[in-house]
Amino acid sequence: MIVTYLENCLKEVSVDCVIFGFDGSTVKVLLSKWKNIDYWSLPGGRIKKMEALNAAAQRILQERVGLKEVFLQQFNVFGEINRCEHYDELETTKLIEKSIGEDLSKIPIKHRVLSVGYYALLDINKVKAIPDEYTEECRWMELNEIPLLLFDHNEMIDLAIRTLRREVKYQPIGNLLPDKFTLAEIQKLYESVLDKTFDRRNFYKQITKQDFLVKLAEKRTGSANKSPNLYRFDQSKYEQALEAGMGF
Amino acid sequence: MIVTYLENCLKEVSVDCVIFGFDGSTVKVLLSKWKNIDYWSLPGGRIKKMEALNAAAQRILQERVGLKEVFLQQFNVFGEINRCEHYDELETTKLIEKSIGEDLSKIPIKHRVLSVGYYALLDINKVKAIPDEYTEECRWMELNEIPLLLFDHNEMIDLAIRTLRREVKYQPIGNLLPDKFTLAEIQKLYESVLDKTFDRRNFYKQITKQDFLVKLAEKRTGSANKSPNLYRFDQSKYEQALEAGMGF
DNA sequence: TATTTATGCGTAATTCATACGCATTAAAAA
DNA sequence: TTTTTAATGCGTATGAATTACGCATAAATA
C-alpha cells in the first residue's frame, strides 16, 4: 500500500535519478516503464525520515541497479508548483491511478512534491537494472530517442546532460567505463558524452599523459588486427585528480 | 507565533541564501544575528505551500534586501540528518529557544529539515539589509572573518564560494556592480571573487573587447589624478552573454 | 608645475588546441 | 606465408589564447 510506504518517508521531497550508462559505444539513460500504461519516467524514490539525502539517492540507485560505488551527484531541485510538463495534473493523476490501481484522492497527502535531481555515471555492462514495485520494465535509452516522459522528467534529463557536459571538462568520468578498457573505448566515451569527435592521435597524447591511467600488460584479443592495449584507472590518483578538478 | 507561520509553508524543506555583495573593493556575505544570543546565521526562510521553489528564494531575498532583479542560483541541497555542524542538536535547540522565546518541544514538527542553498550576487550599495522577526541585525562580513555560524551555514558559505569561483569563469557577474563602474572596480571585483590579481593591461584588453560593456561619456571625478571612465552593462548583450555562457 | 593615476598600444614568450603525416607493430584471415 | 586491418607512437606545423611587461600620453588635483 502506498500509504504505509509513505509513512516512513519525507512527504514533501523526493529523489529522481538520471542514470547515465556507457555500453562501449554510446551513452544511454535508464528509464522505467510504469505498469498498465505506456508511459516512462526516471527511476526515483522517497527519502526516509532518518536518512541523509545523499544516502537516500545512493539507496535508490542501488535498489534499481544494484551498484553503490558510482559517481552520483545532485544537479538541481525541481520545485515548480505543477511539475507535469506535457500532460496536466489531472491527466497525470489519472495515469498514475491507472498504473498503480489505487485511488489517489483517498490518500491524505495533497500537496506538490519537490524533487532533488541526481545524476549517476556507470558502466551498463556491470549492472542489471531491476524495476521497482510500480514499474514493469527498465530500459537503457539513447539520448536522442527518449519519449515524452511523465512529470518534468524530460526537463530533468535535459538539464542533467547539460550539467554533465559542463562538468566533464573538470572531472574524469571513469565510472562509466569497465574496469579494463582500451584507449579507443575511452575516446568513444568522451565523444559520446560531448557529442563530437576527436583526433585519435591528439586524444591519445592527452589522455596517456594523465597519470591516473595505468597501462596493463593485457590486451583485448579477438579481432582480425593488432590487439589494443587494456588500461585501468589508478584509483587513488583518479580520486586525487577528481579532487583537484583536473580537466580534459 | 511560529506555529501559525509554519502552517502555510512546507515543513520539510527550507531555503537558505548566501548573499554575496561587493562594496567596490571586496566581496562580502550577508549574515543575520539572532535575537538574545550571540550567534549568527545565513538569511533563510520557508517555502509557501503554493509557491515555486525559485520564487520562494526570490521572495526571501527580497524580504531581506529589498531587491528582486539579482542573480540568484541554487547550488546545493543540504540534507544531512543532523545539520548542526559545531554544536550538537540539543545545544542548538536551546540556543534557538533562548533566542525566539518559545518552547520548541511544544511544536508538533519534530523532524529534520532539508535546506536548498541559493547564492545571490548584488551590489552592497544598492541595498539596505533588514533583519527578519527572529534576528536583530544584518551585517556584511568579509569572507575571511566569518564566525562560527548556527546549523551547517559555514559549510554552505564554503560551498557557495567554491561554486561561485567555478561559475564565474562562464558567467559575467555584473549583478555585484553598481550601475556605473570603472574598469578598476570590475577588476577588483574579479580579483576579490577569485582571490588573485591580474595584470591591469591584460585585464583591460580582455574586458573591453566584451561587447556587453558600454563606455560612458561620464567620468568619476574627485581624486587628485586623471578621472577614470565610467562603464555600464548593455543589459540585453549582458543577458545574451550569460545565456551563451561566455567566459572570462 | 609636480605628482599621481588612468588609458591605450605594442610585443615577446609560452602554453594549448588542432590538424595531419608517417613508420611500425601485431592480430587474424586468406 | 602473405594480406588485410587496426593499433601505436612518434613528429611537426599552425593558430589562438594567456601572460608578462615596456612605454608614451592624458588629465585630474595639490
CA A169 to chain centre: 18
Predicted confidence (pLDDT) per residue in B112-136, tens digit: 999 999 999 999 999 999 888 889 9
Report residue A172's pLDDT band, with 50, 70 and 90 as the boundaries.
confident
Contact B53 A116 (CB under 8 A): no
**B83 to chain A: closest CA residue:** A52
Per-residue pLDDT at B184: 95
CA angle B90, B96, B102 (to 5 degrees): 105
Per-residue pLDDT at A81: 94
Which of B15, B116, B152, B165 is best to mutate for the A interface (most A CBs within 10 A)?
B116
Per-residue pLDDT at B193: 93
- Residue B107: CB atoms within 10 A of its CB come to 12
Q: Any chain A CB within 8 A of the CB of B137?
A: no
The three three-digit cell numbers of residue B49, written as one number = 505551500
Greater confidence (B3 vs B113) lies with B113
CA angle B31, B35, B39 (to 5 degrees): 50
Per-residue pLDDT at A70: 86
Q: Any chain B CB within 8 A of the CB of A242?
A: no
The stretch A92-99 carries a mean pLDDT of 89
Contact A116 B10 (CB under 8 A): no
From CA A55, how far away is CA A46, in angstroms rounded? Answer: 11
pLDDT-above-70 percentage for chain B: 95
Which of A77, A78, A82 is best to mutate for the B interface (most B CBs within 10 A)?
A77
From CA A135, how far away is CA A36, in angstroms rounded? Answer: 9
* 3-class DSSP state of A52: coil
Which nucleotide minimizes the distance between its C1' and the CA of A215?
Answer: D8
Nearest CB among A49, A56, A114 relative to B53 is that of A114
Residue A222's region, left for phi above 0, alpha for psi from -120 to 50, else beta, is left
Say which residue the cell 590579481 belongs to: B197
Beta bridge partners of A77: A116
Give how far Cα A11 sits from Cα of A46, A52, B35, B114, B188, Å.
Answer: 8, 15, 32, 12, 46
Which of A7, A12, A84 is best to mutate for the B interface (most B CBs within 10 A)?
A12
Measure in Å the smallest separation between the Cα of B145 and chain A Cα atoms.
25
The stretch B207-235 carries a mean pLDDT of 92
CA angle B10, A48, B117 (to 5 degrees): 50
Contact A77 B111 (CB under 8 A): no
Domains of chain A: 2-167 (3.90.79.10), 174-244 (1.10.10.10)
Per-residue pLDDT at A187: 95
**CB < 8 Å to A54, chain B:** 79
DSSP state, A8?
T
Contact B114 A53 (CB under 8 A): yes
Measure in Å the smallest separation between the Cα of A72 and chain B Cα atoms.
14
CA A123 to chain centre: 10
The mean-pLDDT minimum among B2-11, B13-22, B112-121, B167-176 falls in B2-11
| pLDDT tops 60 at residue A140 | yes
**CB < 8 Å to B54, chain A:** 79
Nearest CB among A13, A76, A81 relative to B74 is that of A76
For residue B95, report the phi and psi dihedrals to the nearest 5 degrees: -60, -45
From CA B199, how far away is CA A29, in angstroms rounded? Answer: 46
Which nucleotide minimizes the distance between its C1' and the CA of B229?
Answer: C6
Which nucleotide minimizes the distance between its C1' and the CA of A197?
Answer: C18
| pLDDT tops 80 at residue B104 | no
CA A134 to chain centre: 19
List chain C nucleotides near protein: any atom < 7 Å from a Cβ. 3-10, 17-22, 25-29
For residue A240, report the phi and psi dihedrals to the nearest 5 degrees: -60, -45
The three three-digit cell numbers of residue A112, written as one number = 506538490
Report residue B245's pLDDT band, with 50, 70 and 90 as the boundaries.
low
Q: Any chain A CB within 8 A of the CB of B159?
A: no
Q: Any chain B CB within 8 A of the CB of A214?
A: no
Q: Give distance CA B199 / C1' D19 (Å).
A: 8
Contact A52 B12 (CB under 8 A): no
The stretch A197-224 carries a mean pLDDT of 93
Report residue A5's pLDDT band, with 50, 70 and 90 as the boundaries.
low
First to last CA, chain B: 48
**CB < 8 Å to A53, chain B:** 77-80, 114
> DSSP string spanning chain B?
-HHHHHHTEEEEEEEEEEEEEE-SS-EEEEEEEETTSS-EE--EEEEETTS-HHHHHHHHHHHHHS--SSEEEEEEEE--S---SSS-HHHHHHHHHHHHTS-GGGSS--S--EEEEEEEEEEGGG------TTEEEEEEEEGGG--PBSTTHHHHHHHHHHHHHHHTTTS--GGGS-SSB-HHHHHHHHHHHHTS---HHHHHHHHHHSTTEEEEEEE---SSSPPPEEEEE-HHHHHHHHHHT---
Smallest Cα–C1' distance to nucleotide C4: which residue has it? B225
